Amino acid sequence: MIIKYRLTTPENDDFYLDIEMFDENTFLDFHFAIIEACKFDNQVITTFYLSDENWDFQDEIIFTRFDEVLKAEMPLMEETRLSFFNPVKGQRYLYVFDEIHQRGFFIEIISVRDLKKTETKDNFPKFNIKGIPPQQFDLEFEEDELRNDFENDFDDDDFEEDLFGDDFGGDFSNNYSDDY
């Protein structure tokens, strides 16, 4: 079966990405299709989540296991076929490509169909993109956020405090001995 997904983002209402893939492909294949279509860095850790009608996070499909004990039960992208969750029209997922700022795509299945006689597996994945995808890393946001954090975290009084209890005016001579 062929699954057609539509990806949207709250960052740009004029953008969508349709991807058609075989249900026997894995979520890792889906991940790489998104990376290719959006021209994202493929070295960044991403995550898929099964979602409900309210776009709430549900089952997580992880890129890699950093903690074998805690994440042993979580499905891995490379091991989990797109057919694993019994895809149907209207089923929803979330794809987080910026874990720090929780940015990503809303994904909805818009059709599930059989392979047409004129199609071969070589024709997939298929992409249809409208608009400009979001930047993977929102550098302007991060620069502003860092500047605001720095400006808000420090003022002149911070540097007048005696942080170490010695007023830096005491004896700085070495009180240590080389005798063992």
Identify the pLDDT of residue 91.
97
What is the count of structural domains for the chain? 1
Q: Is residue 168 part of a domain?
A: no
Identify the pLDDT of residue 18.
98
Q: Could you tell me the residue range of the domain that residue 15 belongs to?
A: 2-139
Q: What are the tens digits of pLDDT across the range 38-74?
A: 999 887 889 999 999 999 999 999 988 777 665 567 8
Q: Is residue 34 part of a domain?
A: yes
> Coil, strand or helix: which one is 170?
coil
pLDDT(143) > 70: no
Contact 133, 17 (CB under 8 A): yes
Least confident of 70-74, 95-99, 133-137, 160-164: 160-164
pTM of the full structure: 0.74
Residue 103 tokens read as: 């940015």
Q: Which residues contact 151 (CB under 8 A, 6 or more apart)?
A: none
> Coil, strand or helix: which one is 11?
coil
Q: Is residue 154 part of a domain?
A: no
Q: What is the CATH number of the domain that holds 95?
A: 3.10.290.30
Q: Is residue 178 part of a domain?
A: no
Q: Is residue 180 part of a domain?
A: no
Q: Is residue 150 part of a domain?
A: no
Grade residue 141 by pLDDT with cuts at 50, 70 and 90. low
Q: What are phi and psi of 2, to 5 degrees?
A: -105, 130
Q: Is residue 160 part of a domain?
A: no
Identify the pLDDT of residue 151.
54
